[in-house]
């Protein structure tokens, strides 16, 4: 196979992957947009948390490779094309989440040329394992963004799904591993939400 044919084959796989992941725009989450006009989709969520990561990087608990973090955040929810969005407060759906998402990761990242497939799969696995400073900070952003949406929509989704302050505390504690400073700010916001009456204890 000559060089041009190889390049054409590589590009064809990359384009096929890009067309496939366009489907992430049709995966809707349980998070309302701030204006409460509709639920957000996964593509919007991924863009928003990547932007949060850039803007709030000064609050990271450890030295991080910001480009690595952004890559993680842009690709970590692509598996939901197959696995669907698993609501963090749905205990039944959480039971087989890992299995569904790993199977999806095999298929979706496997569409790419081998080197890119391996890179993105390593990043996805790193995010899931939460062992590196980058993964912990990325998880903090992934947790912070829907919390902010819930807070600034006066608990619209919390009310819909019967979410309590105890549940929110348990979830947002994940922020502390990547940014204790942001975690402390979130604790203040939780107390304020309780005071205002849109987050029941």
The Cα–Cα gap between 2 and 110 comes to 23
pLDDT in tens, 38-78: 999 999 999 999 999 999 999 999 999 999 999 999 999 99
Is 112 in contact with 17 (CB distance < 8 Å)? yes
The Cα–Cα gap between 98 and 189 comes to 30
Mean pLDDT of the 142-154 span: 98
pTM: predicted TM-score of the whole model, two decimal places: 0.94
What pLDDT score was predicted for residue 3?
65
The Cα–Cα gap between 148 and 171 comes to 13
φ, ψ for residue 41, nearest 5 deg: -100, 170
Whether the pLDDT of residue 180 is over 90: the answer is yes
The Cα–Cα gap between 23 and 98 comes to 20
Which is more confidently placed, 88 or 46? 46
Give domain limits for the chain: 3-15+39-196
Confidence band, pLDDT 50/70/90 cuts, at residue 167: very high
φ, ψ for residue 96, nearest 5 deg: -110, 15
Tokens standing for 34? 């701030």
Q: Give helix then strand counts, H and E, for the chain.
A: 11, 2
The class that CATH gives domain 3-15+39-196 is mainly alpha
The Cα–Cα gap between 139 and 156 comes to 23
């Amino acid at each position: 196979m000559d060089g041009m044919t190889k390049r054409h084959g590589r590009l064809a796989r990359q384009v096929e992957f890009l067309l496939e992941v366009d489907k992430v725009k049709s995966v809707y989450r349980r998070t309302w947009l701030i204006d409460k006009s509709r639920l957000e989709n996964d593509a919007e969520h991924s863009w928003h948390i990547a932007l949060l990561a850039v803007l709030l990087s000064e609050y990271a608990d450890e030295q991080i490779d910001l480009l690595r973090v952004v890559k993680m955040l842009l690709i970590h929810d692509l598996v939901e094309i197959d696995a669907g969005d698993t609501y963090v407060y749905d205990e039944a759906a959480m039971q087989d989440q890992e299995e569904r998402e790993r199977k999806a990761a095999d298929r979706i990242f496997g569409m790419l040329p081998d080197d890119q497939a391996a890179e993105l799969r390593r990043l996805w696995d790193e995010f899931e394992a939460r062992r590196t400073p980058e993964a912990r900070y990325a998880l903090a952003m992934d947790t912070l963004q829907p919390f902010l949406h819930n807070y600034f929509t006066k608990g619209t989704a919390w009310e819909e799904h019967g979410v309590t302050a105890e549940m929110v505390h348990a979830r947002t504690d994940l922020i502390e591993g990547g940014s204790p400073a942001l975690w402390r700010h979130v604790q203040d916001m939780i107390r304020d939400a309780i005071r205002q009456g849109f987050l029941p204890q």
